[in-house]
Every structure is written in structure tokens, then in C-alpha cells.
Structure 1
Amino acid sequence: MRKADMRIDSIQENEYTVVLDVWEASVRATHDFLKEEDIAYFKPLILNEYLYAVELRGVRNEEGKIIAFVGAAEDNLEMLFVHPSVRGQGIGKILLQYAVAELGIIKVDVNEQNQQAIGFYEHEGFKTIGRSELDASGKPYPILHMQLS
């Protein structure tokens, strides 16, 4: 996909199952530290709660199908997921830059085990400002709190 062809727009509630599919494919490709039961635990939370709690924007392919998305709440980036079939094409960077410029993002929490994501955010100007031993659900996945410097 060419960057010139990319469009970022709002995601409608009737598209949440597609967003969940992108989330799951992305998580399976990048979060190898998660157990199968963790993915099963988070799926209904993502679909029934988390997507409603954020301002969602998506990147669509030429057919109009969502291939990546970002979710923001206040100045926090709550989600940024790119379908593995289009990873490495700069879509995540474009979405992050959009979130910073258009949604006022200055903070993000990242799983400490997700070294690719940490490197990505550091490359984009984020610095670690804190750490939590448990994730927001109380699961033993340490979280790095990062902020745009």
C-alpha cells in the first residue's frame, strides 16, 4: 500500500468485529509472551468495553477494509494495532503521527516484553517515565509508561 493511498478515518460501531480481528492478528504476531487464555480473556473486553472507551481511527486498504487502527483517550494512546499482512510499511508510524497531531497523544503504555513496540515508540521520540509490575487488568505483564519528550 502506498502512503499516498492511505486514508485515516473514523470507525463505526458496526465495524468493531473487524477491528477485533485486526487486534487479534496483530497481537498473535507481536505479543508472543501472551498465553492463549490471555487472548481469550481480552477479546470480549476489547469488543464490548475498550473500543467504546476510546476515540477510534482506522487505516483502510484500497477496498475500504480496516487494516490498522488507533484508539485514544485524553492524551493517552490506548491502542495501536496493524494487521501483520501490512506490517513494516510505515502504517504504524503514520497512525502514531496522526494520533499525536490530531488526537493530542503524548503518552503510551507498552508491555515491557514487547521490545519491538518499545523500540518503535523510542524511535518516535517517546521516553520511559515509569514502570508498573502488573498490567491494567492485574495480570503479571509489566508495563512501561512512556511519554513524548
Structure 2
Amino acid sequence: METKSNTFQIRKLKKEDLDEVMNIWLSSNLDAHSFISADYWKSNAEMVKEAIAAAEVYVSEDKDSIILGFIGIVPDDYVAGLFVRRSHRSLGIGKSLIHYCQSIHQKLALKVFTKNSRAIQFYKGKGFKIQEETFDPTTNEKEYSMLWKNI
């Protein structure tokens, strides 16, 4: 299934997309999580690359086939990540990716660091509700578990 808007389309990840998706993943994490060491993200990149290759991943691309963002869903309808290229944030790409996944899933769960207020507000605006606050021992940071259900 593919969906299109005036400026971008959403499609499934292809193997040849992986390097570009990883560039977006790393730069987005460095931008959004300045409270976590850059070394943490860099040291986890290879593991994440393998996980992305095995996940249900959708990319948003422009008319020139440039990947603008992506979302990864793993078993149990868990959003492992939503990332948008820095130059294309706040243009509706993340919203479109979430809405696309909401149209094909009955529920979506995710975790977001409590210090990432922009992401928390974004997800709340898409119908996600905070379920609980937990602690991530790998980053020593608090995070919220959030859930969206198709009612």
C-alpha cells in the first residue's frame, strides 16, 4: 500500500534505503536528545540498523525519491521510532507517517523520554495517551509509555 500527498509519498522501506534511513536516525537522535551522550547513539547504530532491516518500516519520500523521514513498527504494534530529516521537520511528514500507521493498526504503543517535550506534545496531538512513567537504565533517563487505540 502506498499513499501520496502533493509533496511526498509513503511506501515500505527498501533494502537500498537503509543507509539514508540510518543517517536520518542518527542526526535526529542527536538533535532531539542532547541530554544523552552522542556516543550512546553512535555505539548503538549497528544494532539499530539490523533492527530496522527486520522491522515494519515506512518511509516518506519526495518527488525526487529523497527520503524525508521514516517510522518503524515492531511486533505488538510498538513504534520503535519516528524520525524526520532536520530540513523537513514541521511540514506534516511525521503526522502523515503516524496517520498512515494508525490507518493500518488498531493500536500503537511507544516510549518517549520525558525531557523530549516536543515529541510528547506531538504524540498527544495524534491521540496518544501517557500510560506510565518508567526509567530507562541504558540512558539513565525517565520516559513515558504512551498508547493510541483506534476507538
Q: State the TM-score, normalized to the length of structure 1.
A: 0.88
State the AA in 1 paired with 2:144.
L
Is 1:123 aligned to 2:125, yes or no?
A: yes
* Native 8 Å contact 1:72 1:103 kept in 2: no
Q: Which residue of 2 aligns with 1:51?
A: 52
Q: Aligned AA for 2:63?
A: E
Give the TM-score normalised by structure 2.
0.87
Q: Deviations over 1:37-85 (max 9, x none)?
A: 11212211211x2203410110012210211000012311111000010
Q: Give, as a single letter, the amino acid of the residue that structure 1 aligns with 2:67.
A: I
Is the CA contact (8 Å cut-off) linking 1:128 and 1:145 kept in structure 2?
yes
Partner of 1:60: 61
Q: Could you tell me the percent identity over the aligned residues?
A: 23
Unpaired stretches in structure 1, ≥5 consecutive residues = none
Listed one character per residue, the Cα deviations across residues 4-50 of structure 1 (whole Å, up to 9, x for unaligned) are 23210011122211100111121222222121211212211211x22
Q: Is the 8 A contact 2:112 2:120 kept in 1?
A: yes
**2:71 aligns to what?**
70
Moved over 3 A (4+): none
Structure 1 range deviating more: 26-35 or 111-120: 26-35
- Structure that is richer in strand per residue: 2
Q: Please say if residues 69 and 95 of structure 1, whose CA atoms lie closer than 8 Å, have aligned partners that are also in contact.
A: yes
Distance between the aligned counterparts of 1:80 and 1:19, measured in 2? 11
Task: Point out where structure 2 has 5 or more consecutive residues left out of the alignment.
Answer: none
Aligned twin of 2:112: 110
Count matched residues.
145
Q: For 1:79 and 1:104, how far apart are their aligned partners in 2?
A: 18
Q: How many Å separate the matches in 2 of 1:37 and 1:69?
A: 23
Contact 2:55 2:72 in 1 (8 A): yes
Change (3 A) 1:20 1:114: same
Query: What CA deviation, in whole Å up to 9, does each residue of 1:113-147 have, x standing for no partner?
Result: 11110010011111110122115xx3312221001
Conserved 8 A contact 1:68-1:91: yes
